[in-house]
Amino acid sequence: MLTYPEIDPIIFSIGPLKIRWYGLMYVIGFLFAWWLAKRRCTRSDSPINSAQVDDLIFYAMLGVIIGGRVGYAVVYGWSQLTSDPLYLFKITEGGMSFHGGLVGVMTAMWLYGRKLGHSIWRMTDFVAPIVPLGLGFGRIGNFINGELWGKPTDVPWGFLVNGQVLHPSQLYEAILEGFLLFAILWLYTAKPRPYLATSGMFLLLYGVFRFFVEFYRIPDAHPGYLAFGWVTMGQVLSLPMIIAGAILLIMAYRSANTMEAKA
């Protein structure tokens, strides 16, 4: 059993301005994304050049922030949103939704890709390997904030929180959806892959990892468990990702095999 260190979520304050660990984790995630994009854009299969990386990251930031917040407010904070529309802008109340952020980033990539004359999937194939590190740092931010704890447990790595030993589900997600997913995708894309394959691999693996972690994570009070006493909103939203990822991978490799046969 480990004791949760009760980290102050605020690093320091300058007058009314408060610098929070959670926000810093987002900044670190975007900085890594920028650096990784700079490395990937030198490849022959890159849809963008070095000068366009800054715009790409800007579009992605807007997608993450707007999509993540709107997704959380609609899916997990609907009652608050309907009673107070300004709840959407109260970022210290509630949080961010990954699935909303995913929709936001895909929308941003569609818009930026259209500007450059590329399809949305060409853009998502490029950004998919650089996203997971940001997800990992975001989950570390959740851990520092002392939120999104898992279920009670007796495993030796459980954390004592308010008199209960709980699964550190934020760290499970940081490891699986963040650092492990990054390692797999970065190695997978070390050589060019068929069109759609990288996007499909991201959707499939993230969906599987998230679906698995949900068994250990306590769901939000609203909506709680949706069915059978164990199905969560996170699993419901991840299942389409798993299916879509598998379909994209099948399409990618069937298309690649067809082209090889014609050659």
pLDDT in tens, 155-191: 999 999 988 999 999 999 999 999 999 999 999 999 9
Do residues 115 and 93 make contact, with C-beta atoms less than 8 angstroms apart? no
Q: Is the pLDDT of residue 51 over 80?
A: yes
CB neighbourhood size of 169 (10 A): 22
Residue with tokens 């991840």: 238
Which residues lie below 8 Å from residue 229, measured CB to CB, with a gap of 6+? none
Which residues lie below 8 Å from residue 197, measured CB to CB, with a gap of 6+? 125, 248, 249, 252, 253, 256
The whole-model pTM stands at 0.89
Distance CA 139, CA 131 (A): 13
Q: pLDDT at position 263, please?
A: 46
Q: pLDDT at position 42, please?
A: 93
CB neighbourhood size of 234 (10 A): 21
pLDDT in tens, 115-169: 999 999 999 999 999 999 999 999 999 999 888 899 999 999 999 998 899 999 9
Q: pLDDT at position 246, please?
A: 97
Which residues lie below 8 Å from residue 244, measured CB to CB, with a gap of 6+? 200, 203
